[in-house]
Amino acid sequence: MSNGSGHDEPRNKAELMQCVRDSWSELSRLIGSLSDDELTASRRDGWSVKDHMAHITAWEQSALALLEGRPRHEAMGIAPDEYLSEDVDVVNDAIYQHNKDRSPKEVRAAFERSHRQMLDRLEQMSDEDLTRPYSYYQPDDPEERPVLGWIIGNTCAHYDEHVGWLRSMLEGTP
């Protein structure tokens, strides 16, 4: 099954690591050379490239918290009721509000640090760890689907999603 990025949905650690590295590489190339002015220029939807970076970082941090058994909302910097609303627009707006006034330097550093943390954490995991249910890592949540899906959704699939939006933003297309 394709994840929309041209490669198959990862089924094990090796495939996941490749997916994460490939997708991150594309994302990094796209934003790596942008100046602070280019990072903070507001676009049609009101978000800047910097806002997208902070958003990706928050969701990646939530995945790390998931794997470490910590509250995901805390890692995202949002209130529990915002996260528990399970409304992605509410969560994303809370992330935006929490990060909108941060400097490009601060956001870029957090973006890169978060990714290194994710890679380090994934390197420690086994194929078996990736097939464990969500509830194994978050015992207060009864979700039994494998955690691999959440990792994909908050790493390579999420990077790929934003690459498309960012390309449109930077090229000025709808």
Q: What is the pLDDT of residues 17-28, one digit of tens each?
A: 999 999 999 999
Q: Rounded distance, CA 37 to CA 97, Å?
A: 20
Residue 27 lies in a domain: no
Contact between 26 and 156 under an 8 Å Cβ cutoff? The reply is no
Residue 38 lies in a domain: no
Residue 32 lies in a domain: no
Would you place residue 7 in the very low, low, confident or very high pLDDT band (cuts 50, 70, 90)? low
Q: Which domain holds residue 109?
A: 46-171
Residue 9 lies in a domain: no
| Residue closest to 119 by CA, chosen among 31, 2, 44, 20 | 20
Give the model confidence (pLDDT) of 116-143 as tens digits.
Answer: 999 999 999 999 999 999 999 999 999 9
Residue 77 lies in a domain: yes
44 pLDDT above the threshold of 80: no
Total domains in the chain come to 1
Residue 138 lies in a domain: yes
Q: Is 146 helix (H, G, I), strand (E, B) or coil?
A: strand
* C-alpha distance from residue 150 to each of 3, 43, 132, 146, 163 (Å): 13, 29, 11, 8, 19
Residue 7 lies in a domain: no
Residue 104 lies in a domain: yes
